[in-house]
Amino acid sequence: MKSKILSMIMAMGLTLTVGSVSAAGELHIYNWGNYTNPEMIEKFEKMHGVKVTIDGYDSNETMLAKVEQGGSGYDIVVPGDYMIAIMIKKGLLERVEPNKMSNFKNIDKKWVDVYWDEGRNYSIPYQWGTTNFTVDSTVYKGDVNTLALLFDPPAELKGRINMLKDMNDVINAGLRYLNYPRCNSDKAQLKELNTMLIKAKANWRTMDYSVIEKLTSRDVDLSQSWNGAAKRARKDRPELVYSYPKEGFTGWMDNVAVLKGAPNLENAKLFMNFMMTPEAAALTSNFANYANGIMGSEPMMNADLTSAPEIVMPASAPAPEFVPPCSQEVTDLYAKIWTNLNK
Amino acid sequence: MGSGMTDQPTTHIQLSSSVVAEAKRLRNTRYALLAPGILTIFCIGIMPLSIVLVYSFLEPGDFGGISWVLSFDAYVQLLFEEDIFDETLSFTTDYIQIFLRSVSLALFTTIACLLVGFPTAYFIATQPPARRNAWLFLITIPFWTNLLIRTYAMLLILRDQGVINLSLIEIGLIDSPIPMLYTDFAVCLGLVYAYLPFMVLPIFASLEKLDFRLVEASYDLYATRFKVLRRIIVPLAKPGIAAGCILVMIPSLGAFITPALLGGGKSLMLGNLIELQFGQARNWPFGSAIALVLMVLVMLSLISYLRFGAKKGTPAHG
């Protein structure tokens, strides 16, 4: 509630200041709601004498719609991986070349050549996570690191499974289980996927986003889940184990980027460079509860984060796969399979 | 005389022009008074619907939105699909099945509400006037709470570790919980609970006006209890029953919070299907088409229902 009031006041302040374009010492950030550490912002404000305002959104698509209208007055946005790809394609982001900034050396090498921004000319990592599943280790005692638990579950998990009500997460997991490629338009393979999903669905109890509630109420013993939600569910149900399936899994990353025509371009660049410092990254992780992509931030992160198997991936786990947005043709096919599965 | 000659027409003209002005003023006032209403209907009724209508005849744009190309695909897609295997266009029942599920769920809810609501309304209507208000007050109490919260409460009652299962286990009637949540039963129960007042209140309004001397008279004429109900009470309560059925049926058709929470989200309802097209499926024209078809169907059934009700009602008056 407090943050809501705060963001309202900030939004009001924003509309008042939008008129005076590039007033010295200002920066307007448009980030996911409840995702920016006020301590981190304070630090940046003190460091550079810049007055920061923050506004929140609840989905990549909401942010895109607002930015596309133009005249939003924002400098910084924090889109997800695939949304960065879309926004670069649509020419909505400023090519600020963070790869030439002084703190770029802090970025973990594995986050530099990413499909959504090869070589990092537009954006830098903010937070990242994975989408897997978490399972009660007292109910199922075997190896959790396989997608078979979702699609061909053992007797003790039958009828005790929650899947995310998310077309892409369910279909991508299914494609991995069958060892077929993502963004798939091969109709024979999709037909096989369709049959497999319908058969598996008989063993699922629910398909819902409210993962934590489903697990802690003991309505289910296994749930597809984002890593942050899995960590929070484990607080109430310590026997939950987060799986890193050997068949692979989806990763996501939110990225700091600068909007084309940003009124405070220089301040935005300063902010980007600041966000690549281990201190700023650690502050963000401690607030948002996800991993960042900045080396050297771990010693400053909260212990419950750095010790959480949901946040820190074990070395044995395969690398997370970042799935690009599929073509409309593939999306149409997926929507048909999804409708067929849910009819 | 000369002046009189000129005077006469002048007054006439003055008079008529003042009448005209008065009429004009009245008409202007009328329009001015109507303007907010017309503007509201246009802005929040007609305009958004026209956008939906136009969008349904376009092609989906890249990454959501639309592209301005005329296309009937959205409507073809509802009934036919390219077979995933051999690319021939074949009849698809997926969407019809989702329509039918929504309709049958709504029908079942309406019938259940009627079966529970009618006796309740009758009971309240036959109470002494002073006590009626107290009963009505009790009926409206759940309305003070948001539907989402009431549905969550139902969730807490029905779930495996919920009130019913835990107390049944406690008294030793069962060993392991009966799975009640995430079934069609739970969805129907939730919908009936949510919409029951919509059935009780209009029926009560009809029954309240009912002249119970008619009931006494029919008993005097040796009518059985069932006959009194069938021939006297139900026909006179018909407007209330019709209104109640419409008020329950239409929101149940579009309901998606209750099916999503209590049904476990394993089956799409019409609302979810439309949402899917605007979200992950990125097919706005198709979503618009489904929304319009649903609206037309509801409108048609409503019109036929009202016609049917009116025809039945007329001879009853005669």
* Closest CA relative to residue B273, chosen from A205, A335, A163, A210: A335
Q: Among A186-190, A237-241, B85-89, B208-212, name the one with the lowest average pLDDT.
A: B85-89
Q: Are residues B104 and B47 in the same domain?
A: no
Which residues 101-120 in chain B show a CB within 8 A of chain A? 101
pLDDT of residue B89: 65
Residue B242 and residue B316 in contact, taking contact as beta carbons nearer than 8 Å: no
Q: B39 vs chain A: nearest CA distance in angstroms?
A: 25
Q: Is there a contact between A204 and B266 if contact means CB atoms under 8 Å apart?
A: yes
Residue B288 and residue B56 in contact, taking contact as beta carbons nearer than 8 Å: yes
Q: A227 vs chain B: nearest CA distance in angstroms?
A: 21
From A205, A334, A336, residue closest to B264, measured CB to CB? A205
Q: Are residues A200 and A108 in the same domain?
A: no
Q: Are residues A155 and A100 in the same domain?
A: no
Indicate whether B5 pLDDT > 60. Answer: no
How far is the C-alpha of B80 from the C-alpha of B286, rounded, in Å? 13
N residues, chain A: 343
Helix, strand, coil proportions of chain B in percent (round to 5)? 75, 5, 20
How far is the C-alpha of B32 from the C-alpha of B184, rounded, in Å? 51
Q: End-to-end alpha-carbon separation of chain A, Å?
A: 38
Percent of chain A at pLDDT > 70 equals: 93
CA B261 from centroid of its chain's CA atoms: 20
How far is the C-alpha of B108 from the C-alpha of A162, rounded, in Å? 27
Q: B304 vs chain A: nearest CA distance in angstroms?
A: 28
How far is the C-alpha of B14 from the C-alpha of B18, rounded, in Å? 6
Indicate whether A65 pLDDT > 90. Answer: no
Q: Establish if A140 touches chain B: CB-CB under 8 angstroms.
A: no
Residue A222 and residue A239 in contact, taking contact as beta carbons nearer than 8 Å: no
Q: Establish if B264 touches chain A: CB-CB under 8 angstroms.
A: yes
Q: Is there a contact between B281 and A332 if contact means CB atoms under 8 Å apart?
A: yes
Residue A24 vs residue B200, higher pLDDT: B200
Residue B12 vs residue B105, higher pLDDT: B105
For residue B66, tell me if it sits in a domain: no
Q: Establish if B98 touches chain A: CB-CB under 8 angstroms.
A: yes
From A194, A219, A343, residue closest to B97, measured CB to CB? A343
Residue A5 vs residue A307, higher pLDDT: A307
From A86, A166, A343, residue closest to B63, measured CB to CB? A86
pLDDT digits (tens, 9 = 90+) for A84-107: 999 999 899 999 999 999 999 999
Q: Are residues A160 and A170 in the same domain?
A: yes
How far is the C-alpha of A211 from the C-alpha of A224, rounded, in Å? 8
Residue B232 and residue B214 in contact, taking contact as beta carbons nearer than 8 Å: yes
CATH code at A175? 3.40.190.10
Q: Bridge-partner residues for A291, per DSSP? A: A128
Q: Is there a contact between A343 and B268 if contact means CB atoms under 8 Å apart?
A: yes
Amino acid at A19: G
N residues, chain B: 318
Q: Is there a contact between B268 and A191 if contact means CB atoms under 8 Å apart?
A: no
Q: Are residues A173 and A106 in the same domain?
A: no
Q: Exposure string (b/e) for B63-74, b if CB count within 10 Å is 16 or more?
A: bbebeeeeeebb
**What pTM, to 2 d.p., does this model score?**
0.78
For residue B205, tell me if it sits in a domain: yes
pLDDT of residue B315: 43
How high is the ipTM of this complex? 0.72
Sorted by sequence, the CB contacts under 8 Å of residue A41 that are 6+ apart come out as A29, A52, A54
Residue A229 and residue A211 in contact, taking contact as beta carbons nearer than 8 Å: yes
Q: Are residues A84 and A169 in the same domain?
A: no
Q: At what angle do helices B234-254 and B270-278 cross, to 10 degrees?
A: 30
Indicate whether A334 pLDDT > 80. Answer: yes
How far is the C-alpha of B160 from the C-alpha of A327, rounded, in Å? 42
Residue A321 and residue A248 in contact, taking contact as beta carbons nearer than 8 Å: yes
How far is the C-alpha of B65 from the C-alpha of B201, rounded, in Å? 43
Q: Are residues B140 and B216 in the same domain?
A: yes
CA B38 from centroid of its chain's CA atoms: 23
Phi, psi angles (nearest 5°) of residue B24: -65, -40
Sorted by sequence, the CB contacts under 8 Å of residue A54 that are 6+ apart come out as A7, A10, A29, A30, A31, A36, A41
Burial category of A239 from C-beta neighbours within 10 Å (exposed 0-12, middle 13-18, buried 19 and up): exposed
Chain A positions touching B273 (Cβ under 8 A) are 339
Q: Are residues B98 and B210 in the same domain?
A: yes
Domain span at A200: 129-250+315-342
Q: Are residues B18 and B164 in the same domain?
A: no
Q: Are residues A143 and A242 in the same domain?
A: yes
How confident is the model over A219-229, as a mean pLDDT? Answer: 93
Indicate whether B101 pLDDT > 80. Answer: yes
Q: Are residues B159 and B301 in the same domain?
A: yes
Which residues 214-273 in chain A show a CB within 8 A of chain B? 217-219
Q: Establish if B63 touches chain A: CB-CB under 8 angstroms.
A: yes
Q: Are residues A237 and A91 in the same domain?
A: no
CB atoms within 10 A of CB A263: 20
Residue A287 vs residue B84, higher pLDDT: A287
Q: Are residues A230 and A267 in the same domain?
A: no
How far is the C-alpha of B126 from the C-alpha of B212, rounded, in Å? 9
Q: What sign results for the dihedral spanned by CA atoms B37, B43, B47, B49? A: negative
Q: Establish if A86 touches chain B: CB-CB under 8 angstroms.
A: yes
pLDDT of residue A14: 45
pLDDT of residue B316: 42
Domain span at B270: 94-317
User: What separation in angstroms does the CA of A116 have from each of A100, A121, A148, A256?
Assistant: 18, 10, 30, 13
Task: Give the confidence band of A243 by pLDDT, cuts at 50, 70, 90.
Answer: very high
Q: Is there a contact between A331 and B64 if contact means CB atoms under 8 Å apart?
A: no
Question: Total structural domains in chain B?
Answer: 2
Q: Are residues A17 and A87 in the same domain?
A: yes
Residue showing tokens 């080396």: A295
Task: Give the confidence band of A21 by pLDDT, cuts at 50, 70, 90.
Answer: very low
Chain B positions touching A166 (Cβ under 8 A) are 280
Q: Are residues B46 and B101 in the same domain?
A: no
Q: Are residues A288 and A182 in the same domain?
A: no
Q: Is B1 helix (H, G, I), strand (E, B) or coil?
A: coil
Sorted by sequence, the CB contacts under 8 Å of residue A206 that are 6+ apart come out as A162, A163, A214, A219, A220, B182, B264, B265, B266
How far is the C-alpha of B190 from the C-alpha of B109, rounded, in Å? 9
Q: A219 vs chain B: nearest CA distance in angstroms?
A: 6
Q: Are residues B29 and B105 in the same domain?
A: no
Residue B151 and residue B259 in contact, taking contact as beta carbons nearer than 8 Å: no
Q: Are residues A76 and A31 in the same domain?
A: yes
pLDDT of residue B244: 93
Q: Are residues B146 and B218 in the same domain?
A: yes
From A191, A219, A337, residue closest to B160, measured CB to CB? A219
Q: Among A11-15, A198-202, B43-47, B114-118, name the one with the lowest average pLDDT.
A: A11-15
Q: Which helix (H) or strand (E) holds A329?
A: helix A328-342
- What is the average pLDDT value for chain A, to the nearest integer? 90
Indicate whether A263 pLDDT > 90. Answer: yes
Residue A21 and residue A40 in contact, taking contact as beta carbons nearer than 8 Å: no
For residue B73, tell me if it sits in a domain: no
Question: Total structural domains in chain A?
Answer: 2
pLDDT of residue B61: 80
How far is the C-alpha of A27 from the C-alpha of A42, rounded, in Å? 12
For residue B252, tell me if it sits in a domain: yes
From B94, B160, B282, residue closest to A340, measured CB to CB? B94
